[in-house]
Structure 1
């Protein structure tokens, strides 16, 4: 008598329900020493069980080869950053009881999260000063509601006037101390601000300013400005011609690289331009590039690293700030790369990036430039191996 055995492990058939439970990494940041990763895991709501809504976003840490879930469950963590000393991870969140989205800190070595500062303002984005003592942040809310408008509102007069009720996004600076008692102070700048970053010496801010916070101005009329923190005034103006993407200071603070549209009619920002931080004529460092640049950073004062989207694939390459010596670092392959988080320490450049492919959604990758290929460090959906 003969028996025909069933497969030892029958693979499960793919259905739309599996698509609805796919997890993915949506943000990855490398620590200042280049050895650890903080990342956000997007967890879809359980189909037919939870209320409709976007995915929950959890904070996780990879340190010394160990993955640690820091803040999980029904949470919406966003905009993660390492503090400059590498001892804590900062993030935006609106906890139960919070009236606005706030900036929180959580120690890497364990402990409860705490607010970096206490304010009524809702924080939309932020950047740490190089010494970790101050934070610049953006908020379109006000510390005190206009008394005249409040009186009218209390009397039931609450009209909504299309495109006339816009509020500018303002730049605020606050000292960060252990007790969270820092008081934010606004910079008096014309227009609505976005895209904040500090100069390496902490004396200046780079911001994009638009005439208003309306969508058309955000896409078409944002212009880069270098702001002196001593005077609070615009120190230099950069004439980007249209839509704007990532920006980055050179390590010595003398140059600024930014992703821009080629002209006002260009449908998207995808060119790398470099300009002296003191002002001057920008230089297109990849004038004949057939791809579109999606992320940039500096390797040193002379070299820029970037992610380029070429057709349906991506590459990671470098180019001199003068447009010379372009070199492909990672040729297009199975992974589609998104974003660059760079840490330069002990003569090495460590990068965190997100890669997705035909076999998996976004996962965190860690790479030392010039040494092999990026190493995948997360597996958000181990059950995919059992699917067909």
Structure 2
């Protein structure tokens, strides 16, 4: 890095990104829950066509002491190759998407200002000035793409006419899962002839996203039969439209679909998808010849998870991948179906996003590490240069000591986990420990920034409590075979792995006999399971948005097909008893572990009635303390900083309370 770049970068970061730690965090040098939920991060980054500038979005949580309840705010920045930073859009806005024009003279974005009811399409020039609203409708626009020639704009939103005409006589009456007028429709607008209005592109079903082909007016459209989440997740397709009347199906019937990238000439398509229709996650890489309409999987034996794919130059694909608890960026010859690839980066960062225009040697990268959440990096000529410092207060905090541990399950399956201990830990110390279980189960914990509102690991470390986060069988990041190890066996070997993790900590003299467990979603299911079926092994538990009854969960979830096709592999009526015995309520008589239950009442993924069932069963038996908290305005994912703070504080308080009450702990 040149001295010129270093000097300007330092000035820019200090001026634009400095953050002030909360009084509590600064006084103690520890990560308080309030500071945790206030952390900023980089959401999106796009390299300019001339490769000399990066436009990026910074996410800013609302101030829990001052601001009203609601989602986070975002601001737009521009970094040039000399290290100079420009603050393009600041203040109380929500920004969801950015894209450069082909000539690099404009940045287009999807934005909703605080005073506006809906997301609209804006344009701003990189040298500054006010953002101009280009397209607005009487409801949210959900996404857009700008053609490289700068003349055509594609975007999608539900039918306005249907929205206006469909006024029910009773506000409380609606037809469940049968609202075709809510499907997103695709529109095309000529920016040179805006007076002619938008053109509706005929697409059957619900438009998830769309992008222009590089050298034509063709549009690659990801669509689903309806806007229902089950359809979007399990039945999505990629189709190619000529923008007029003809649509050709390219990819269909593969199950879960991920991101896609055109070759520079538009004749081929690289895309991420599930290896098989029953695979629990999309982490495999495929290559399609569009003219021949034939696709094949490449890197078929890759024991990892492809997370992003780019096609910046004709010969080479660029992709990022998670391999176990680490991440890589790599390049692969596009005409080779072999498993060979060239590693571009394999370091301490966990890669979350990459973008390039014409080279694998110049990338805008979003990544996190043990020391910080997602930040902007500029990958140039083989070197990864950090370009943002959104939370400078982290440098002054005493974060927990983070280490990777490997251990084996009872049947020999190799497992990994992340241990976070108090910073002053010595080699002979043993700590009270909480096992945090990730959701999914098709997700995983990486050796990067782990702390979040539902797992405040650094706050616990400051209290002398250790955290362990295992990647049990069925986790992603280790290839399709490992991903499928838990299929057809709810709460079987996958949760037995948690007992193995517990015993590993004890055998290695890392933990005391006090072990708690906590998790959200599928992790909440695990916590409820360990507070009932495995109650004798755990001293305290927290279940957030967890499953308590697999049968009624199937009847109330918004993703029943995903549940059956990629996890259960059977219908509940084919084995009622098996489904019941995979439910924590079945073991309510064994409940001896103090359990805190929390759930959002707008959760469509795991309905909050799951927590009602669990609470009622346990409260009636009254074998151990149980508490239920419901959040009326929250869904499956908590997006409000105020609620996140409340959850983080309650998690730490519950675990610490029952750590100190030895008489309430299981023998």
User: Normalising by structure 1, what TM-score?
Assistant: 0.89
Matched, 1:174 2:189: yes
CA distance in 1, matches of 2:27, 2:138: 56
Stretch moving more, 45-54 or 56-65: 45-54
Offset, 1:349? 4.6
Deviations 1:270-320 (A, max 9, x none): 111111122422110111000010100113223211001101111111222
Partner of 2:107: 89
Match of 1:304 among 317, 322, 326: 317
Offset, 1:32? 0.9
Tell me which protein shows more helix as a share of its residues.
2
CA distance in 1, matches of 2:394, 2:68: 25
Partner of 1:248: 261
Match of 1:357 among 369, 387, 391: 369
Deviations 1:158-197 (A, max 9, x none): 621211124211111012259x656221111211112311
Matched, 1:187 2:204: no
Matched, 1:386 2:396: yes
Q: Which blocks of at least 5 consecutive residues in structure 1 are unaligned? A: 1-8
Matched, 1:334 2:348: yes
Offset, 1:324? 3.7
Offset, 1:234? 0.6
Runs of 4+ in 1 over 6 A off after TM superposition: none
Match of 1:57 among 61, 66, 74: 74
CA contact (8 A) 2:353 2:367 kept: no
CA distance in 1, matches of 2:221, 2:286: 16
Deviations 1:76-125 (A, max 9, x none): 11201112211121111123554531100011112111112344453101
Partner of 1:46: 63
Matched, 1:222 2:239: no
Matched, 1:376 2:378: no
Offset, 1:240? 5.2
Give the alignment of 1:126-137 within 5 angstroms: 126-137=144-155
Give the alignment of 1:275-354 within 5 angstroms: 275-321=288-334, 322-324=336-338, 326-344=340-358, 349-354=361-366
Inter-CA distance 191–49: structure 2 relative to 1 (3 Å threshold):
same
Match of 2:89 among 68, 71, 76: 71
Stretch moving more, 65-74 or 122-131: 65-74
CA distance in 1, matches of 2:98, 2:233: 24
CA contact (8 A) 1:121 1:142 kept: yes
Give the alignment of 1:111-126 within 5 angstroms: 111-120=129-138, 122-126=140-144
- How many residues align? The count is 370
Offset, 1:67? 1.3
Determine helix, strand or coil for the equivalent of 1:282: strand
CA distance in 2, matches of 1:136, 1:67: 30
Offset, 1:209? 1.9
Deviations 1:16-48 (A, max 9, x none): 232132111111111111111111111121222
Determine helix, strand or coil for the equivalent of 2:127: coil
Inter-CA distance 65–161: structure 2 relative to 1 (3 Å threshold):
same
Offset, 1:325? 7.3
Inter-CA distance 99–300: structure 2 relative to 1 (3 Å threshold):
same
Tell me which protein shows more strand as a share of its residues.
1
CA contact (8 A) 1:117 1:183 kept: no
Inter-CA distance 42–185: structure 2 relative to 1 (3 Å threshold):
same
Inter-CA distance 333–213: structure 2 relative to 1 (3 Å threshold):
same
CA contact (8 A) 1:271 1:284 kept: yes
Offset, 1:331? 4.3
User: Normalising by structure 2, what TM-score?
Assistant: 0.53
Higher relative contact order (CA 8 A, sep 6+): 1
Q: Which blocks of at least 5 consecutive residues in structure 2 are unaligned? A: 1-25, 399-667
Deviations 1:193-237 (A, max 9, x none): 1231111113211111211111111011011111112x3311343
Offset, 1:141? 3.5
Inter-CA distance 122–16: structure 2 relative to 1 (3 Å threshold):
closer
Structure (1 or 2) with the larger CA radius of gyration: 2
CA contact (8 A) 2:344 2:382 kept: no
CA distance in 2, matches of 1:373, 1:90: 29
CA root-mean-square deviation: 2.3
Determine helix, strand or coil for the equivalent of 2:78: strand
Matched, 1:201 2:215: yes
Offset, 1:145? 4.3
CA distance in 1, matches of 2:163, 2:347: 53
Inter-CA distance 65–186: structure 2 relative to 1 (3 Å threshold):
same
CA distance in 2, matches of 1:158, 1:278: 50
Offset, 1:263? 1.3
Inter-CA distance 206–333: structure 2 relative to 1 (3 Å threshold):
same
Give the alignment of 1:253-272 within 5 angstroms: 253-272=266-285
Deviations 1:218-277 (A, max 9, x none): 011011111112x33113433351110001100011101100001111011111111112
Partner of 1:237: 250
CA contact (8 A) 1:335 1:357 kept: yes
